[in-house]
Amino acid sequence: MSQVRILILTSSTGGGHDARAQAFAEWAFELYKHRVDVRIEQLLEKSSFVGRWGVQFYNWIQRKAPWLHHPYYMFVEGLSIINRDSISFGKKYYRALLREYRPHLVFSVHDCLNRGYFEVARQELGAENVRCATYCGEFSGGYGYSRNWVDKTVDLYFSRTPTARDYAIKLGLPPEHARVRGHLMRPRSHHDIFDAAKRRRFLVERLKLRDDRFTVLLGTGGNGANQHMELLPVLAEFADRVQAIVVCGHNARTYSEAIHWRAQHPEFSCFIDGYTDEMHRLLQVSDAFLTRGGTTSCAKALNFRCPIIFNGYGSIMPQESLTVKFFERGAGSPIIDSSSSFRTVIENWIRVPGCYDEALARFKALRYEEDPTTLIHELVGLGFDAAKLERPFPV
């Protein structure tokens, strides 16, 4: 049986890029089974010391000093100049990977893995034997939207929103190569949907919470950056009407502190978890979601109609600002940077008649229905074209 080989270029700067790579791999197998072979490469980390250091520094900034992302962002933007036609760091590893795997499609889900990488792939494999595509997860354009996303030679470029697509075109993307195709979430986010009965059962039986209280989900990125221990006491002030789901990510210290805090506050109902693979379920049983501007988390919240409160502690990173801007302008999503501003939002939403309902309606108005398989068929179709094989599904 002939297989189409697809190489996904990603990196663990935050968790969103890897999440989209995983989502594509799962969808490709669900729809095409063994006709498609997907290989995911965390290329920045694997290909060079410079790339590995950059990823580690990025994640350190996100945990410890978000304000440093502004100078870091400007430094990374310099790659758009030096990587215009080739690759500055890690070219030897990448060329060896291309020769060994010989992909029919090179699919990038990371801003630093477009410019130069597609040119090298065509040089190594022959332009007639490989196609190149990008999925950009940004919600809007402007400061924070990296020029590194846009390689003008790309075969197809997928954006999450029309606003983001228009900005890519402004940066030089040929309009005929641009598509708007939704959020690229894992299949479970489309298949594992709660009705009212399942929602209550999960909330009461699985999380041991009540179904008659306002439920706030305190989220964090996979690296565990959060302000949970400052904000939990605020929620406890409304213990008669509010309960919490606390996700700590890969932050053992916060998890331990939250467990200890819960034991000392039996009057307040909360469920505590570390890193979770059930965010799609937790969002379905929550009424509000506190998070930074990570694109994957916010896309899930939008999909499951759970209004966002943005965590603006320590500044908003350039990449996050694109997400925050989209929801702040489109839905009036609040931004908090202190316990007092968080208290104001929660108090208004639970005590001012109609306040939360209006916020929910504005948030839901940004949502749109999508067929997640359209994106997968279009991408895999490029691979079938390069492999000179007949597409098994019409696009």
* Domain CATH for 343: 3.40.50.2000
Alpha helices for the chain (secondary structure H): 16-32, 43-47, 49-64, 69-77, 79-82, 91-101, 117-125, 162-170, 188-191, 196-201, 228-236, 252-264, 279-284, 295-303, 318-331, 339-351, 355-365, 372-386
Q: Are 35 and 171 members of one domain?
A: yes
Domain membership of residue 394 (yes or no) is: no
Domain holding 102: CATH number? 3.40.50.2300
The model's confidence at residue 259, banded by pLDDT at 50, 70 and 90, is: very high
Q: Is residue 88 part of a domain?
A: yes
Return the percentage of the chain with pLDDT > 70, whole number. Answer: 93
Whether the model pTM is above 0.85: yes
**61 domain residue, yes or no:** yes
Q: What pLDDT, on the 0 to 100 scale, is given for residue 251?
A: 85
State pLDDT tens for residues 114-149: 988 999 999 999 999 999 999 999 999 998 898 889
- Residue 125: half-sphere exposure toward Cβ, Cα within 13 Å: 29
Domain assignment present for 391: no
Number of domains in the chain: 2
CA-only gyration radius of the chain, Å:
22
Q: List the beta bridge partners of residue 214.
A: 242
- 275 and 246 part of one domain: yes
Is the domain of 73 the same as that of 203? no
The Cα 165–Cα 179 span in angstroms is: 7
Pair 363, 307: CB distance under 8 Å = yes
Residues 24 and 68 in one domain: yes
State mean pLDDT over 244-267: 93
Least confident of 42-51, 63-72, 211-220, 285-294: 63-72
Q: 178-195: per-residue pLDDT in tens?
A: 999 989 999 999 999 999
Q: Which domain holds residue 320?
A: 189-365
List residues bridging with 39 in a β-sheet: 7
Whether the per-residue pLDDT at 395 is higher than 60: the answer is no
pLDDT of residue 207: 97
Residue 244 lies in a domain: yes
Residues 382 and 331 in one domain: no
Which pLDDT value is given to residue 36?
A: 96
Tell me the average pLDDT across 52-76.
72
- Say if residue 262's pLDDT is above 90: yes
**In whole angstroms, what separates CA 37 from the centre of its chain?**
23
- Give domain status of residue 379, yes or no: yes
Same domain for 178 and 195, yes or no, is: no
Residue 198: inside a domain = yes
Q: Is 139 in the same domain as 215?
A: no
DSSP string, 125-177: H-GGG-EEEEEE--SS-STT--GGG--TT-SEEEESSHHHHHHHHHTT--GGG
Banded pLDDT at 85 (limits 50, 70, 90): low
Question: Among 260, 280, 284, which Cα is nearest to 270's?
Answer: 260
| Residue 222 shares a structural domain with residue 93 | no
Mean pLDDT (whole number) for 301-325: 90
Reference 324, options 314, 339, 338, 334; nearest CA is 334
